């Protein structure tokens, strides 16, 4: 028999508690979380109960029907699959809550724009009832979908599945081919701003 001499680490002996993992550290499902959180945010002032867990399961099952859960989990969700999930969300909200769900990418309609104009559009949209907004942005170390909580003066605040600090509008730039980003640059594209609006379905009289 071999007797091993184990050295036991005691609490407080120089090793701090490891930081807890956040959504996004181990998975790439920010697109799914973004849709769920955007829908919940849009319903915040309308007295509508939205079952976020039920919507989340619906979206995961939709990805599974395309055999894309593993891809989404590890590699994220591209625009084509996000559009598919928006369609799934529209049907889900209509069938489960009798709600209309509308999505728009406003920058596709504008020939020239910058961050100031893009966020001015978002600010105006968020004043509408049942409104929310998603943003797909890219930094030097990651790409991420998040909900835009509000736009005030020179900063943008997010409501995110992973804690995200407010960002200066001046740090956002339109992504250009072959451009060299600064470390603080946050890239976005024409498809990166998504306006969402949820409303009660109008019934014929």
Domain ranges of the chain: 30-200
Digit-coded pLDDT (tens) for 29-60: 999 999 999 999 998 865 677 899 999 999 99
DSSP string, 2-70: PPP---PPPTTSS-PPPPPP-TTTS---HHHHHHHHHHHHHTTTTT----HHHHHHHHHHHHHHTT-HH
Comparing CA positions, the residue from 183, 141, 161, 158 lying closest to residue 21 is: 161
- Is the model's pTM score more than 0.75? yes
Assess whether pLDDT exceeds 90 at residue 156. Answer: yes
Mean pLDDT is highest, among 20-24, 86-90, 199-203, for 86-90
How open is the CA angle 132-137-140, to the nearest 5 degrees? 155
- Mean pLDDT, all residues of the chain: 86
Better-predicted residue by pLDDT, 13 or 100: 100
At residue 151, the pLDDT reads 96
At residue 10, the pLDDT reads 52
CATH topology of domain 30-200: Cathepsin B; Chain A (3.90.70)
């Amino acid at each position: 028999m071999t007797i091993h001499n184990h050295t036991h680490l005691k609490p407080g002996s120089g090793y701090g508690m490891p930081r807890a993992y956040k959504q996004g550290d181990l998975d790439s499902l920010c697109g799914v979380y973004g849709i769920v959180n955007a829908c919940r945010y849009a319903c915040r002032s309308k007295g509508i109960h939205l079952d976020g867990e039920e919507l989340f399961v619906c979206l995961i099952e939709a990805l599974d029907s395309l055999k894309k859960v593993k891809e989404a989990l590890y590699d994220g969700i591209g625009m084509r699959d996000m559009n598919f999930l928006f369609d799934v969300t529209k049907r889900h909200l209509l069938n489960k809550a009798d709600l209309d769900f509308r999505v728009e990418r406003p920058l596709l309609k504008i020939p020239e724009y910058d961050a100031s104009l893009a966020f001015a559009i978002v600010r105006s949209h968020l004043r509408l009832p049942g409104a929310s907004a998603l943003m797909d942005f890219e930094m030097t170390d990651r790409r991420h979908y998040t909900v835009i909580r509000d736009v005030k003066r020179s900063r943008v605040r997010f409501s995110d599945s992973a804690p995200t600090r407010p960002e200066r509008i001046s740090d956002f730039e339109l992504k250009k081919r072959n451009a060299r980003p600064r470390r603080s640059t946050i890239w976005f594209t024409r498809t990166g701003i998504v306006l969402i609006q949820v409303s009660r379905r109008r019934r014929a009289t």
